Amino acid sequence: MTTPNEIAWITDSTASLDEEFIKNNHIYVVPLSIIFGDETFLEGVDLTAEDFYPKLAASKFLPKTSQPAIGDFVELYRKLKNQYKYAVAIHASSSLTGTYQSSVAASNIVGYKVDVIDSKIGSYPLGKMIEKGVELHRAGKSYEEIVAALRTLPDRANLYMVPGSLEQLHKGGRLSTSQVIIGSLIRLKLVVRFEDGKVVLFDKIRTEKKVKQRLFQIFEETANHIKEASVIHGNAGQLAEEWRQELQLKFPEISFVTTTFSPVAGTHTGQGTIGLAWING
């Protein structure tokens, strides 16, 4: 059995965890960066989601994103090495950012054993993985049991979404040129999902109404295995709340929330993105 101060939890800012939860549970968040021209902002530190989307709408150029420097992890792990016996780091998909690789390398440089887990996803499911680890810790599970359980979560995590901007996903290397051209020419709504850490095209939808029907159908097919889920969005809070209420009525046994895509995720998916995310139970 572990004791309360034995485990440090490390993640990155794409997890969008609640500030109070972070403060109360020995969680350390390493921020990614958003670059608007000559200005660089640390996600969640210098730039919140609430500030990011208006800035994105007003910008003449698409912003860029940058992973944390390896030195940020080295500095953090040197500090944690003297404070915690154990450390677990869970990061956004290694196929989309080098954050995971930097975390692993820093652990080796410092000589501090950190169990680094590739979530193969990001946003709400990534945050839920950290929350699950804290929950298991509170339940008195051994460190080995906690890590073993957490390593099963990436392959059970799901995120389906309709991006608000195909151009941004394409420029970020998330969608191929042909997929973007097809979607733009015939004004299709493209449904994408995470598959083994990568964003892949899942379906093509012709109307807004059918977007909701299709995503709800996908969710319903696996609803028996879901305890919690989120309607996830890029500055489309009212629509997300409408979806949440409808889903809550349809599936009363499941707990639903809404989650705003963090600035880094929003940089690649764009304004108006909406989707569903969950981890199979």
- Name all domains of the chain by residue range, CATH numbers in brackets: 7-32+67-152 (3.40.50.10170), 156-279 (3.30.1180.10)
Query: Pairing mode, if any, of strands 228-233 and 255-260?
Result: parallel
Starting at the edge strand found earlier in the chain, the sheet holding 115-118 runs: 27-30, 7-12, 86-91, 115-118
- SS3 for 102? helix
> Which pair of structure tokens corresponds to residue 79?
């500090």
- Confidence at residue 169, expressed as pLDDT on a 0 to 100 scale: 54
pLDDT per residue, tens digit, the chain (281 aa), is 555 469 999 999 999 899 999 999 999 999 999 999 999 999 999 999 999 999 998 888 889 999 999 999 999 999 999 999 999 999 999 999 999 999 999 999 999 999 999 999 999 999 999 999 999 999 999 999 999 999 999 999 999 999 886 555 555 555 555 555 554 545 678 899 999 999 988 998 888 789 999 999 999 999 999 999 999 999 999 999 999 999 999 999 999 999 999 999 999 888 899 999 999 98
If one counts every other C-beta atom within 10 angstroms of the C-beta of residue 235, the result is 21
8 Å CB contact between 75 and 274: no
Query: Rounded to two decimals, what is the model's pTM?
Result: 0.91
Q: How far apart are CA 78 and CA 5, in angstroms?
A: 17
Instruction: Please give the single-letter amino acid code of residue 66.
Output: S
- Confidence at residue 229, expressed as pLDDT on a 0 to 100 scale: 98
List residues bridging with 198 in a β-sheet: 195
- SS3 for 167? helix
- SS3 for 146? helix
| DSSP class per residue in 17-29 | --HHHHHHTTEEE
Q: At what angle do helices 237-250 and 208-222 cross, to 10 degrees?
A: 40
Which residue in this structure is represented by tokens 């150029």?
61
- Confidence at residue 201, expressed as pLDDT on a 0 to 100 scale: 87
CA 24, 117, 19 angle in degrees (round to 5)? Answer: 25
